[in-house]
Amino acid sequence: MEAHGEKGEEGAGLRITAQLLKASSGQFALDSILLLRLRGRGIADLGCLGDCAHLEWLDLSGNAISQLGPLAGLKQLAVLNLSRNRVSSLEPLGSCESLQSLNLAGNLVSSLQQLRCLAGLRRLESLRLRDPLGQLSNPVCAAAAAYRAALAEALPGLKAIDGERVSGRGSELFQLCRDLDGSPGAGPGPAPPRAAQPWVQASFWEPPPPRRSSIIEEAYKQFGEALQECRELSRRADDTIAQAERALSVRADPGSFVF
């Protein structure tokens, strides 16, 4: 039987309960839960989620969450997915000292000031506020044209912003792509193709005329002489065999018998 959370006030959404957590994780004790997937459950209240003291991986995407208070007690939480919710205040996340990856795409973060509380998270390496593939974003992404540069400056420990490497191995490739996109020669569309031109001259692929060196000429001459000598030897051998056959041939004597 599927476990359900409690209805929130005015039926706005579900509230996480111990029964829901145990049923979703298969654990009998909340502090034994290490991984929890609660995607798209219609959750609005995190309830007793903070009792999962050893939780390391948490997916809360696709819900109706706006308050993150219970997450402040998750000291071992390393990966958190809050995409497609209603989050605007991130203060409780400042206590998640083990947090390494945070997905906030599709929420209500409207200014970089709201992200200052993450500056103390020394292990935070990946932060996502925008997901073009999922068509998810935050108001801050539209309000600040260079929000990623400002974010990288405010949180220097970040290695990836919105899925793009900003430091470490691979960051040079993303920077090169951005430079190419913003170069003066990059117009609204590709330039019309020019007529194809041959790479080499027309005679390049033609085989060169045959050249016979003196060594080859001498070899041909010696081969011809050897062939002529073989023919002469063959003729002499035929003559010798014919003479021998005539000398050895005897007339058959009709009155003699050979046993």
Q: Which domains does the chain have, with CATH numbers?
A: 6-171 (3.80.10.10)
What is the C-alpha to C-alpha distance for residues 35 and 47, in angstroms, rounded to an integer? Answer: 17
User: Do the beta carbons of residue 134 and residue 106 sit within 8 Å?
Assistant: yes
Q: Mind listing the pLDDT tens digit of every residue in the chain (259 residues)?
A: 445 666 655 456 899 999 999 999 999 999 999 999 999 999 999 999 999 999 999 999 999 999 999 999 999 999 999 999 999 999 999 999 999 999 999 999 999 999 999 999 999 999 999 998 889 999 999 865 588 888 888 898 999 999 888 865 554 444 555 555 554 544 455 566 666 666 666 666 677 666 666 777 778 788 888 888 888 888 888 888 888 888 887 554 555 544 4
pLDDT at 196: 66
Q: Write out the two tokens for 209.
A: 């005329």
pLDDT at 224: 86
What is the C-alpha to C-alpha distance for residues 88 and 66, in angstroms, rounded to an integer? Answer: 7
The residue type found at 247 is A
Q: How far is CA 81 from CA 39, 107, 208, in A?
A: 9, 11, 69
User: What does the radius of gyration of the chain's CA atoms come to, in whole angstroms?
Assistant: 44
pLDDT at 237: 87
What is the C-alpha to C-alpha distance for residues 204 and 31, in angstroms, rounded to an integer? Answer: 77
Count other Cβ atoms within 10 Å, centred on residue 240. 10
3-class state of residue 24 by DSSP? helix
pLDDT at 81: 97
pTM of the entire structure?
0.63
